[in-house]
Amino acid sequence: MTGTILGAADINRALTRIAHEIVERNDGADRIVLLGILTRGVPLAERLAERIATVEPDWDAQERTGALDITMYRDDLFKNPTRTIGTTSVPDAGIDDAVVVLVDDVFHTGRTIRAALDALRDLGRPAAVQLAVLVDRGHRELPIRADYVGKNIPTSRSERVNVHLEELDGEDAVILRKGE
């Protein structure tokens, strides 16, 4: 199967469901900090934050959301050393004793999340770390799993899952493509 797997309405429903699951699992949002993994995890984290704020009106979406650049923590830098380093931004209150929810677009081998966990260690000591992803495509190489998944999409290793987001690409869509 190739083509559009999720459209804008599907993505919105998935993010709304994930936001509710995060609040429910954590008995509210008081201790929640959302950190989007650059690049597409950041707008997804911001969208989740907006939805959490509608459920928990006292929760400040802007003050509890940040961005995490994992470039220098990746284990494949030697393969592509010319990566652009992004900006990590952590809420003013920090992450110590918070429940940090890492947010990413596609969960594949687990190596990106391992790098994110290493980067997080340099920022503080959260009470817990959870993972929210829009798409889980399988093929794990590390023993890491997502706590919140928008959609499981079984893929072959040769296929590619491309997430397009309005903020970066002008449209919301998840597209499955044959490998090139």
Structural domains in the chain?
3-177 (3.40.50.2020)
Quick one: which of 29, 30, 31, 102 has its CA closest to 69? 102
According to the model, what pLDDT value does residue 100 have? Answer: 98
Encode pLDDT of 4-50 as tens digits.
999 999 999 999 999 999 999 999 999 999 999 999 999 999 999 99
Give the tokens for residue 169: 């690409």
Encode pLDDT of 49-81 as tens digits.
999 999 999 999 999 999 999 999 988 877 776
Tell me the whole-structure pTM to 2 decimals. 0.95
According to the model, what pLDDT value does residue 1 have? Answer: 60
173-177 sheet: strands from edge to edge = 3-6, 173-177, 160-164
The SS3 assignment for 150 reads strand
Helix 8-25 crosses helix 41-55 at what angle (to 10 degrees)?
Answer: 60
Is residue 82 over pLDDT 80? no
As a whole number of Å, the end-to-end CA separation of the chain is 15
DSSP string, 60-108: -TTTTEEEE--GGG-TTTTT-TTPPP---B--TT-STTSEEEEEEEEE-
CA distances to 1, 66, 138, 157, 158 from 179, rounded to whole Å, are 12, 32, 16, 8, 5
According to the model, what pLDDT value does residue 80 have? Answer: 72
